[in-house]
Homo-oligomer: A and B are copies of this chain.
C-alpha cells in the first residue's frame, strides 16, 4: 500500500479531509497550562516544552476520530529549545500510536547526503553502521524544492522505503509567495514548473485511490492554482494550508478536491488549537468543537460528506 492509499484511507475513515496542525505557542496556550509553569513567562525552556507536550497530547486526544491527519510544525518546538524537540519526538510517537497519518512540517531541503540525513531522521530512521535508529518517525515530510532534483530524490527514496510520502512546496499560502513562485519561467510560472516536476517524481499507488506518494503544498489562499493542480495533475495529493486563521475561504478550497473529496488534505492550526480566550476553563471542549466544525465544513465542501 503506497502513501497515496494510506492518506486516502485516513481521510475516508475520518470522513473529512481535515488535517490538524500542531503549532503550539506559549502566548496562546490556556492559562491553566501556563500558570503552573511560570504564568506570563515560562520558568525555563524545559517548562515551556513540558507545556507544549501536555497541550499537544491533549489535542491529539481531543481531535481523535475527527481527523485522520496531523501536522506538527517543527519551528515552534525548536523555539522551545532542545527540550522542545524532545517533546516533539514524544508527540510524534503518540500520534503514530493513535493511528494518525503524520506530516512533519519542517520544509527541509539540502544536497545529497545531507538531504539523506534529514530524510532518514524524518521518516524511516537514521542509519549508522548496521543500526537503524528512529528519530521523528513521520509518515510524510514537507520539502522545499529550490535546490533541484538531486536534493529531493534522497527524500523520495527514503519515503518509498517506508510507504511514506512528501509534500513539496509549490505555491505557498503567504501573501508574498508570488515573488519567485509566480515568475514567468519560459512560458509558465515557476510554481507550475515545480508542480510538473512533482508529478514526475511521484509514484501512483496501485490501489483504488490512484494518488501518488509525492504531493504538493498549495495554499488555500490560491484558488486558481488549486484548480489548475487538480485539473492538470489529478494524481498529485495536495496539502492545503492557510484555511481558517490565515484567511483562506471555504469556497476557495473547493477546487482542490477530486471525486468524493479525495486528493487533498486541508490544514487548520490556530482556528482549532486556540478558539478561546487564554483564561477559558473549557478550552478542551472548545478545541473539540472547533475540530468538529472544521471537519464537517470540509467534509461538505470537499464532497466527502455522504459518500
Binding site for B on A (CB under 8 A): 23, 25-27, 38-42, 44-45, 48, 73, 75-76, 78-82, 85-86, 89, 107-115, 117-118, 120-121, 126, 128-131, 133, 135, 144-151, 169, 172-181, 183-186, 190, 193-194, 197
Contact B73 A114 (CB under 8 A): yes
Q: Please, which residue of chain B has its CB at the minimum distance from the CB of A197? A: B179
Is there an interface contact between B148 and A146, defined as CB atoms closer than 8 Å? no
Q: Are A27 and B129 in contact, with the CB atoms below 8 A?
A: yes
Residue among A41, A79, A190 with the most chain B CB within 10 A?
Answer: A79
Bound complex: CA A247 to CA B35 (Å): 55
**A147 touching B169 by the CB < 8 A rule?**
yes
Question: A148 to B181, Cβ gap below 8 A?
Answer: yes
Per the bound structure, the CA–CA distance linking A110 and B169 in Å amounts to: 10
Contact yes or no, B146 A169, CB < 8 A? yes
Chain B residue nearest to A122 in the complex (CB): B78
**A26→B128 contact, CB < 8 A:** yes
Minimum-distance CB pairs A-B, first 10: A41-B129, A150-B176, A148-B179, A111-B174, A148-B176, A75-B117, A79-B117, A26-B128, A79-B126, A183-B185
CA distance A161 to B212 in the complex (A): 44
Q: Are B81 and A133 in contact (CB under 8 A)?
A: yes
* A112 / chain B contacts, CB cutoff of 8 Å: 174
Residues of B close to A130: CB separation below 8 A: 40-41
Residues of B within 8 A of A197 (CB): 179
- Candidates B25, B75, B150, B181; contact of A118 at CB < 8 Å: B75
Q: Are B89 and A131 in contact (CB under 8 A)?
A: no
Are B75 and A82 touching (Cβ within 8 A)?
Answer: no
Contacting residues, chain B, for A129 (C-beta < 8 A): 26-27, 38-42
A110–B172 alpha-carbon span in the complex (Å):
9
Q: In the complex, what residues of B have CB within 8 A of residue A40's CB? A: 129-130
- Distance (whole angstroms) from the CB of A192 to the closest CB of chain B: 11
In-complex Cβ contact of A190 among B44, B128, B149, B183 (8 A):
B183
